[in-house]
């Protein structure tokens, strides 16, 4: 069952999600629209609408205002049985709930004359996983879908091409925050549509995944345009809910949290050091010698700590490793340690960090600078980097970072990409601070120097 659910990218929606966050915003329109779900599962996004209609008129409503599809025969069977439970005749339910692969075969011919509103929780399955574990799905990414990165993006693109006036999607929040994974779909969709409102969850709402999702209400523009967008969202976290105003700029591919990119763009410094990541095991092997060195094995974490290995290397590698004293922690630990730059010796009691098997972006990663920086300058850079990062996180609610899924911490843990690490380092120059008139950041980064 788990393998089948994973293959289809299926995450069934509890009915209360529709009842609480969707139905109140569409209740007055129930008799004016055709309500469609092309990935209906058991029908949990449509049946709350049907139940909102008085029982004596549910059959009429179902016949004229409901249409559901799913690729899986067993899910369609469950949806039909639920229709029977609320008074819909079997022949009508079987006519309005259909088995169909709507990603490949969009059913516009069945929509009829009423304006259709698509309410759905489409499949989520990213292209990297598909290429390894579900290669049959690669067929969806051909032709006009080339460049999309997830099945949910193809669902969005199909509605866009069909010209639907409105649709409501429950999709991963990487649609809003993601970089390369969602740049194309955002640019395509937001040229034709605007986001009217959204609910963004940093709490678990699906049983089988910790992926953070949002409910997005899309409405087609009268005139397509590449323009700034603003909308209000309710962000729901373990600590409560708060409204936030989002401003999406096409210059930054409509990515939320682009204040980080704006900061980097306005403060990039040509004198900043260049940085490379990772010390690989094959490099250690190529430099045998008489200099003893202690290296953290980034791939071996046992009983709460990383394993420390000892090697004898030549002077060249010894100097390279020991003179570059910093590593990047890309993920908040859930305790007091936040993403940022830290000293290897202070944290691990070792000289460097080696990748013995595979590189993982969430492991501790050693930094190597060009030109070489003194230890004093590296500490100055770390102070600058960490204080600036924390102030940007406070200003943007960490939205330029990726939510790290599984956490029991009192705040929502975040992941800082290596591309962002390089970008923030590119704004550093010793004894120099970012432009003080950069909106909205009127702060000095010298607080901790």
Identify the pLDDT of residue 239: 80
Same domain, 117 and 51: yes
Q: Residue 413 — pLDDT band, cuts 50, 70, 90? A: confident
Specify the CATH number for the domain of residue 183. Answer: 3.40.50.150
| Residue 432 located in a structural domain | no
Percentage of the chain lying above the pLDDT 90 cut? 76
Same domain, 122 and 182: yes
DSSP state of 53: S
3-state secondary structure of 385: helix
Identify the pLDDT of residue 411: 62
| Residue 133 located in a structural domain | yes
| Residue 22 located in a structural domain | yes
Identify the pLDDT of residue 202: 81
Same domain, 8 and 95: yes
Percentage of the chain lying above the pLDDT 70 cut? 90
Same domain, 291 and 359: yes
Which residue did the predictor score with more confidence, 295 or 443? 295
**Domain span holding position 6:** 2-256
Cα–Cα distance for residue pair 124/117, rounded to 1 Å: 20
Same domain, 306 and 211: no
Which residue did the predictor score with more confidence, 401 or 363? 363
HSE at residue 7, side-chain half, CA atoms within 13 A, is 9
Cα–Cα distance for residue pair 273/429, rounded to 1 Å: 8
3-state secondary structure of 397: coil
Q: Report yes or no: 283 and 276 within 8 Å, Cβ to Cβ.
A: no
Cα–Cα distance for residue pair 140/161, rounded to 1 Å: 15
**Per residue in 315-336, pLDDT tens?**
999 999 999 999 999 999 876 7
User: Against a cut of 0.85, is the pTM above it?
Assistant: no
Identify the pLDDT of residue 38: 98
Q: What are the Cα distances from residue 275, in Å, to 20, 97, 283, 289?
A: 48, 56, 17, 26
Identify the pLDDT of residue 129: 86
**Per residue in 78-92, pLDDT tens?**
999 999 999 999 999
Identify the pLDDT of residue 258: 87
**Per residue in 93-108, pLDDT tens?**
999 999 999 999 999 9
Q: Residue 404 — pLDDT band, cuts 50, 70, 90? A: low
Cα–Cα distance for residue pair 159/119, rounded to 1 Å: 11
**Per residue in 18-55, pLDDT tens?**
999 999 999 999 999 999 999 999 999 999 999 999 99
Cα–Cα distance for residue pair 297/300, rounded to 1 Å: 6
Per the structure, the count of domains in the chain is: 2
Identify the pLDDT of residue 240: 87
Q: Report yes or no: 398 and 414 within 8 Å, Cβ to Cβ.
A: yes
3-state secondary structure of 340: strand
pLDDT above 80: residue 366:
yes
Identify the pLDDT of residue 373: 96
| Residue 43 located in a structural domain | yes
pLDDT above 60: residue 132:
yes
| Residue 439 located in a structural domain | no
- Once rounded to an integer, what is the mean pLDDT over residues 385-393? 95
Same domain, 324 and 203: no
HSE at residue 323, side-chain half, CA atoms within 13 A, is 12
Identify the pLDDT of residue 9: 43
Q: Report yes or no: 58 and 46 within 8 Å, Cβ to Cβ.
A: no
Same domain, 177 and 286: no
Identify the pLDDT of residue 237: 82
Residues pairing with 213 in the sheet: 172
**Per residue in 242-289, pLDDT tens?**
999 999 999 999 999 888 999 999 999 999 999 999 999 999 999 999
pLDDT above 50: residue 184:
yes
Same domain, 287 and 232: no
Q: What is the DSSP string of 13-45?
A: PPHHHIIIIIHHHHGGGGGGSEEEETT-TTTTT
Same domain, 250 and 281: no
Cα–Cα distance for residue pair 118/168, rounded to 1 Å: 6
pLDDT above 90: residue 368:
yes
Same domain, 41 and 183: yes
Identify the pLDDT of residue 155: 98
**Per residue in 200-256, pLDDT tens?**
998 777 654 557 899 999 999 999 999 999 999 999 887 889 999 999 999 999 999
Mean pLDDT of the chain: 90
Identify the pLDDT of residue 430: 75
| Torsions phi, psi for 256 (to 5 deg) | -65, 145
């Amino acid at each position: 069952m788990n393998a089948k659910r994973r293959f289809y990218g299926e995450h069934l929606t509890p009915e209360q999600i529709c009842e609480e966050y969707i139905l109140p915003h569409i209740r007055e329109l129930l008799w004016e629209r055709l309500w469609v779900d092309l990935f209906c599962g058991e029908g949990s996004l449509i049946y709350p609408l049907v139940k909102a209609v008085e029982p004596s008129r549910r059959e009429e409503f179902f016949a004229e205002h409901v249409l559901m599809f799913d690729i899986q025969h067993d899910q369609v069977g469950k949806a039909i049985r639920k229709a029977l439970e609320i008074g819909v005749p079997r022949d009508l339910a079987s006519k309005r709930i259909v088995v169909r692969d709507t990603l490949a075969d969009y059913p516009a011919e069945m929509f009829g004359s009423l304006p259709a509103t698509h309410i759905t929780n489409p499949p989520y399955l990213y292209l990297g996983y598909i290429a390894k574990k579900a290669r049959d799905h690669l067929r969806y990414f051909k032709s006009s879908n080339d460049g999309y990165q997830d099945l949910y993006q193809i669902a969005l693109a199909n509605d866009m091409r069909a010209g639907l006036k409105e649709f409501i999607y429950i999709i991963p929040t990487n649609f809003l925050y993601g970089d390369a994974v969602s740049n194309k779909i955002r640019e395509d969709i937001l040229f034709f549509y605007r986001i009217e409102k959204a609910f963004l969850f940093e709490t678990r709402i699906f049983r089988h995944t910790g992926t953070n999702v949002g409910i997005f209400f899309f409405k087609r523009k009268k005139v397509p345009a590449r323009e700034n967008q603003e909308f209000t969202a309710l962000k729901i976290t373990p600590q409560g809910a708060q409204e936030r105003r989002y401003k999406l700029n096409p210059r930054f591919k409509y990515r939320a949290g682009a204040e980080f990119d704006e900061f980097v763009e306005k403060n990039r410094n040509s004198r900043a050091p260049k940085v490379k990541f990772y010390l690989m095991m094959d490099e250690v092997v190529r430099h045998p010698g008489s200099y003893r060195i202690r290296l953290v094995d980034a791939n071996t974490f046992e009983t709460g700590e990383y394993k420390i290995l000892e090697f004898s290397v030549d002077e060249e590698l010894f100097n390279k490793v020991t003179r570059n004293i910093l590593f990047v922690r890309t993920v908040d630990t859930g305790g007091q340690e936040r993403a940022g730059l830290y000293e290897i010796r202070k944290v691990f009691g070792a000289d460097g960090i080696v990748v013995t098997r595979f590189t993982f972006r969430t492991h501790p990663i050693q930094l190597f600078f060009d030109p070489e920086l003194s230890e004093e300058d590296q500490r100055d850079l770390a102070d600058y980097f960490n204080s600036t990062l924390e102030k940007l996180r406070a200003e943007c609610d960490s939205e330029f970072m990726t939510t790290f899924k599984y956490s029991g911490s009192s705040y929502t843990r975040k992941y800082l990409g290596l591309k962002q690490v390089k970008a923030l380092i590119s704004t550093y120059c010793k004894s120099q601070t970012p432009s003080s008139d950069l909106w909205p950041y009127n702060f000095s980064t010298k607080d901790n120097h």
